């Protein structure tokens, strides 16, 4: 684990449908419903510029090694935290997966966090793999899932695991509402109004340049930070979710970003399933409609 550089700064539809049917009964347990579940909160998995980074582990009752999923929260790279997955993580654990929700260093005006945040996500994967025996995790069956900016980080870490030495590969990756091509991602003022400038400024804070809807793009930085631009052969199977409904009160990341990522993965031989839902939402707003299908993908892919 690292004390990091801030101071230096193809699963078929029929298969998915079948497995989704099997998990639908437990995807949404009633409030207070019994379930064999243990939670370990606030474990320190890394240190960045003297500040500890934490994760929460949701453990199912199991008597054999099971897959694990590292959950990467959204928030425009500048906000949010591991508590964002307070609904999804327990549901995953009740489905028989070890769910690990992680914090990472957030960007701010004077502190860009590319590639640091993606490296920290991979450090979390390494931490899970290191504790596989204690948690009953199959070390060869670790996946990642992220939403919004977390989807971007999860895909970036998954398609370029050499961000960290030694590499920390994962065996599956899920992205909900991710912006994957930062070079072309120019949120539409006509569609999103003031939200567009906010999204651009968040991205500028992350990569350390640019900002504002009309600013000159810093192409070199944006290209290096775009998972669709750095995908290479050997990428893990992926599930990408977005909405057909683009707008300020629905999906605020243009759905074409999902298509660009899918095309990039396919171009290097990757297996990818894409969902363009008709649901109006963004990121974890898809939980009720998409969690069962996501669990189907993960359980099928990770075994």
Question: In a structure prediction context, what are the per-residue pLDDT tens digits for the chain, which is 303 residues long?
Answer: 443 333 333 333 333 333 233 333 333 333 334 467 999 999 999 999 899 999 999 999 998 999 999 999 999 999 999 999 999 999 999 999 999 999 999 999 889 999 999 999 999 999 999 999 999 999 999 999 999 999 999 999 999 888 887 889 999 999 999 999 999 887 776 677 767 778 888 999 999 987 655 566 688 999 999 999 999 999 999 999 999 998 888 899 999 999 999 999 999 999 999 999 999 999 999 999 999 999 999 999 999
Q: Tell which CATH architecture fits domain 5-181+230-302.
A: 3-Layer(aba) Sandwich (3.40)
Max Cα–Cα distance, the chain, nearest Å: 56
Question: DSSP letters along 118-137, please?
Answer: HHHHHHHHHHHHHTHHHHTE
Burial zone of 38 (CB within 10 Å; 0-12 exposed, 13-18 middle, 19+ buried)? exposed
Look up residue 181 and give its two tokens: 């091509």
19 vs 16: CA distance, rounded Å:
5
Look up residue 51 and give its two tokens: 């500040």
For residue 30, what pLDDT is reported? Answer: 33
- At residue 49, the 3 state secondary structure works out as coil
For residue 193, what pLDDT is reported? Answer: 72
**Crossing angle of the two packed helices 149-159 and 116-130, in degrees rounded to 10:** 70
CA distance readout (Å), 163 to 79, 136, 152, 167, 225:
23, 27, 14, 7, 11
């Amino acid at each position: 684990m690292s004390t990091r550089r801030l101071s230096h700064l193809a699963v078929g539809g029929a298969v998915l449908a079948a497995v989704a049917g099997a998990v639908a009964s437990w995807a949404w347990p009633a409030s207070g419903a019994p379930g064999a579940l243990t939670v370990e909160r606030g474990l320190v998995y890394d240190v960045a510029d003297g500040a500890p980074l934490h994760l929460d582990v949701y453990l199912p009752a199991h008597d054999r090694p099971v897959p694990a999923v590292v959950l990467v929260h959204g928030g425009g790279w500048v906000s949010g935290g591991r508590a964002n997955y307070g609904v999804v993580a327990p549901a995953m654990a009740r489905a028989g997966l070890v769910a690990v929700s992680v914090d990472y260093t957030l960007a701010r005006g004077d502190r860009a966090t590319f590639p640091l945040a993606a490296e920290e996500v991979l450090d979390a994967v390494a931490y899970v793999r290191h504790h596989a025996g204690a948690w009953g995790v199959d070390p060869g069956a670790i996946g990642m899932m992220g939403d919004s900016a977390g989807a971007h980080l999860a895909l970036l870490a998954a398609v370029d695991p050499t961000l960290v030495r030694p590499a920390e590969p994962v065996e599956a990756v899920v992205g909900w509402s991710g912006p994957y091509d930062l070079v072309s991602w120019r949120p539409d003022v006509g569609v999103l109004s003031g939200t567009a400038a906010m999204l651009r400024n968040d991205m500028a804070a992350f990569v350390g340049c640019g900002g504002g809807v009309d600013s000159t793009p810093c192409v070199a930085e944006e290209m290096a930070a775009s998972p669709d631009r750095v995908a290479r052969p050997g990428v893990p199977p992926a599930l990408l979710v977005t909405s057909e409904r683009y707008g300020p009160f629905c999906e605020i990341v243009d759905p074409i970003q999902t298509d660009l990522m899918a095309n990039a993965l396919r171009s290097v031989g990757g297996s990818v399933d894409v969902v363009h839902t008709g649901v109006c939402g963004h990121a974890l707003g898809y939980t009720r409609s998409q969690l069962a299908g996501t669990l189907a993908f993960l359980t099928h892919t990770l075994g």
